[in-house]
């Protein structure tokens, strides 16, 4: 179902009923993710955008094509742009639209703040040295008991270099607000082979590699140094 025009209260047909199970499209997922990043409720977004709560709920549940004016109001309420909600810039490196002159305030992050930022887990990069030189690989990770947990497969580059000093970097860039943060963790890594430790990681560390496949090798990074910085406009 698509929506070609909306009023301030949203389409009457969609408000009357939702005839099929939820099937979020790309726009729906971006709206929900941006709202979560701002810690806003659907009601708050609806009020800011001048849309009905029912219509905001609909946008997050089903593929839709809001009218340009409604999309602009929604983007403003979410402190982003219509292009960003529609996926513009998805195939360019993060930070492509940020002018260097705008990056005015750089502040160091304490270890406690760094840990708070990376605790939810997600996607980062692991770096280590090889005979051919330094290597940096994107990885999914989880944080458990103040350590970083990574899953990989046997025979991978990570598997072959997981017992030694490594660095893990995690960052976030918000191009709409021209701000971001970066956390760098350094420390020794080791394969998890002890049955008790391995069992705990398999039960408690929620790590689902995007690449999929059999990835039953667990690697743990023990932070010995944590640093970070935040860049923002004030």
Ranges of H-type helices in the chain: 12-16, 26-37, 42-49, 53-61, 68-77, 82-85, 111-118, 157-160, 195-204
- Of 9 and 44, the structure prediction assigns the larger pLDDT to 44
Whether residue 175 has pLDDT greater than 90: no
* Closest to 57 in 3D by CA, of 48, 46, 72, 65: 46
Q: How far apart are CA 164 and CA 6, in angstroms?
A: 58
Q: How far apart are CA 166 and CA 127, in angstroms?
A: 6
Q: Are 187 and 178 in contact (CB under 8 A)?
A: no
- Of 217 and 20, the structure prediction assigns the larger pLDDT to 217
CATH annotation of 101-232: 2.30.110.10
Global pTM reads 0.60
Tell me the pLDDT tens digit for each residue of 118-174. 988 888 999 999 888 899 999 989 898 899 998 888 888 888 888 899 999 999 887
Query: Any bridge partners for residue 190, and if so which?
Result: 220
- Transcribe 172-208 into DSSP letters: EEETTTTEEEEEEEEEEEEE---HHHHHHHHHH----
Mean pLDDT, residues 193-222 taken together = 76
Range with the poorest average pLDDT among 69-73, 153-157, 189-193, 227-231: 153-157
Name which CATH class applies to 12-85: mainly alpha
- The reply to whether 12-85 and 101-232 are identical in fold is no
Q: Are 2 and 64 in contact (CB under 8 A)?
A: yes
Q: Tell me the domain boundaries of the chain.
A: 12-85, 101-232
Q: How does DSSP classify residue 147? A: E
């Amino acid at each position: 179902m698509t929506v070609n025009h909306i009023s301030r209260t949203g389409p009457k047909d969609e408000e009357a009923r939702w005839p099929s199970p939820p099937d979020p499209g790309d726009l729906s997922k971006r709206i929900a993710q941006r709202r979560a990043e701002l810690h806003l409720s659907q009601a708050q977004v609806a009020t800011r955008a001048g849309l009905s709560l029912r219509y905001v709920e609909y946008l997050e549940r089903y593929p839709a094509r809001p009218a340009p004016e409604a999309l602009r109001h929604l983007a403003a309420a979410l402190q982003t742009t219509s292009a960003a909600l529609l996926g513009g810039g998805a195939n360019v490196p993060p930070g492509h639209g940020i002018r260097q002159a705008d990056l005015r305030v750089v502040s160091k992050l304490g270890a406690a703040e760094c840990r708070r930022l990376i605790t939810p887990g997600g996607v980062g990069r692991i770096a280590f040295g090889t005979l051919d030189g330094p290597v940096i690989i994107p990885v999914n990770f989880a944080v458990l008991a103040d350590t970083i947990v990574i899953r990989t497969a046997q025979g991978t580059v990570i598997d072959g270099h997981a017992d030694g000093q490594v660095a893990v970097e995690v960052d976030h860039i918000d191009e709409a607000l021209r701000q971001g943060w970066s956390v760098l963790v350094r420390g020794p890594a080791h394969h998890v082979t002890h049955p008790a430790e391995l069992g705990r990681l398999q039960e408690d560390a929620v790590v689902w590699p995007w690449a999929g496949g059999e990835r039953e090798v667990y690697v743990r990074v023990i932070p010995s140094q944590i640093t970070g910085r935040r860049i923002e406009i004030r």
